[in-house]
Amino acid sequence: MTNYCLPSPAKINLLLHIIGCKDDGYHKLQTVVQFVNYSDVINITVTKNNIISFSSNTNKIISQNNLVIKAVKLLKYFCLSNKCINKYFGMHIKINKVIPIGSGLGGASSNVATILLFLNKIWHCNLTLPNLAKIGLLLGSDVPLFIYGRTAIVEGIGEINTPISLREKWYVIIVPPIEISTTKIFSYVSTNNYSAIKTHTELLSSKYYNAFESIVLKKFPIIKKYMLWLSRYVPAKLTGTGSCIFAECDNQNTAYSILFNKPSGVTGFVTKSKNISPLHSILKDGKIFSY
């Protein structure tokens, strides 16, 4: 048996606009997303029994038919259909969840992308990142971002990724004791939450704005409580459609001093943003991906 240990990183949305809705009900977005150096850990034991098994350090992830298992089955089906490989190996996947569930930090999508990138290599699928991203999009709108592994302007329903480079900064991230369902939050969206489409230059010069923030603060007053607390030190922002609040700090020490004074009932962490996903930093030797 062969064992692998891979990071599955979090992300933050530096801004998030809703620009419309497709005929199928999916909302179209414009967002600027950057990775942070904070990750789930995925341990994979490859076996020869052709059995796929799964476990986690939390019972909040259903072991059967979760997104990671769906990703394995979907890539296996694709590769079999296209005769990409001649032999499959079984594996046990264990996810050590560090990224809070329902936090807006992209943990589930990151897990899916990490698995797809890994299997693309060991199964010799030889899929390019764009093709792998198309498969990932079937499982979640954030998955292509994690497949490409670069700070990006993301548009549409997640299928359009334009890589950019931004200054890497220190952040304090506060995790309120609540999980927020992305599906539920999207159900509250109305045309009042829509913004006009912006050019990339306009987006990058815009002040922070998250179209979901007003919805979250209205539906979950506890989030507002902690945002007001964090705003006493630095401007507090919501990431994604989840519960996590983040704030940019001048340096690491400032971030830790704020975290040290956090209210009881919340957790948090200090991290630095990254233009390249921590996973891709490990796998950047050129032998992992086929472009």
How much of the chain is in helix, strand and coil states, percent to nearest 5? 30, 30, 40
Of residues 11, 97, 237, 274, which has the active-site annotation?
11
Report residue 271 as tokens.
């991290």
Active site residue 142: yes
Q: Which among 290, 288, 291 is positioned nearest to 118, based on CA atoms?
A: 288
Classify residue 113 as exposed, middle or buried by CB count within 10 Å of its CB (0-12, 13-18, 19+).
buried
Q: Which among 140, 122, 1 is positioned nearest to 70, based on CA atoms?
A: 140
pTM (two decimals)? 0.93
Strand, coil or helix: 144? helix
Cross-strand pairs, 150: 276
Of residues 40, 97, 142, 237, which has the active-site annotation?
142
Q: Are 41 and 8 in contact (CB under 8 A)?
A: yes
Distance between CA atoms of 236 and 95, rounded to whole angstroms?
Answer: 30
Q: Are 189 and 215 in contact (CB under 8 A)?
A: yes
Spell out the domains of the chain, with CATH numbers in brackets.
Answer: 1-291 (3.30.230.10)
The one-letter code for the residue type at 187 is S
The one-letter code for the residue type at 20 is G
Digitized pLDDT (tens) for each residue of the chain, 291 residues in all: 688 899 999 999 999 999 999 888 889 999 999 999 999 999 999 887 878 888 998 888 776 568 999 999 888 888 777 666 556 678 899 999 999 999 999 999 999 999 999 998 888 888 999 999 999 999 999 999 999 999 999 999 999 999 999 999 999 999 999 999 998 999 999 999 999 999 999 999 999 999 999 999 999 999 999 999 999 999 999 999 999 999 999 999 999 999 999 998 899 999 999 999 999 988 765 444 433
Classify residue 48 as exposed, middle or buried by CB count within 10 Å of its CB (0-12, 13-18, 19+).
exposed
Active site residue 83: no
**DSSP H or E stretch at residue 208:** none
Q: Are 40 and 97 in contact (CB under 8 A)?
A: yes
Q: What is the DSSP letter of 165?
A: -
Q: What is the DSSP letter of 232?
A: T
